[in-house]
């Protein structure tokens, strides 16, 4: 049962499910959305910071602009 799932709101698994649900609903059920709906936008980085370890391997990326 869905109500027995132990998912935390901040969990990446839950956020992924919610993201796909919202995008799917917006795409396939657009006619049921209210007139004052807010469009889901993609975040695009103008400049990205790449952090590398001492061996030159990438360990993280973050958006700085």
Kindly report, residue by residue over 18-44, the tens digit of the pLDDT. Answer: 889 998 998 899 899 889 988 887 778
Total number of domains constituting the chain: 1
48-51 own/partner pairs: CB under 8 Å, 24+ apart = none
The first and second tokens of residue 19, run together, are: 């993201």
Domain that holds residue 25: 2-63
Whether the full predicted model's pTM is greater than 0.75, yes or no, is no
Start-to-end Cα distance in the chain: 43
């Amino acid at each position: 049962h869905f109500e027995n799932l132990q998912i935390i709101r901040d969990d990446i698994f839950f956020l992924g499910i919610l993201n796909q649900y919202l995008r799917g609903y917006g795409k396939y059920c657009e006619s049921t959305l209210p007139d004052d709906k807010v469009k889901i936008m993609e975040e695009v980085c103008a400049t990205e910071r790449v952090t590398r370890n001492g061996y030159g391997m990438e360990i993280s990326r973050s958006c700085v602009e």
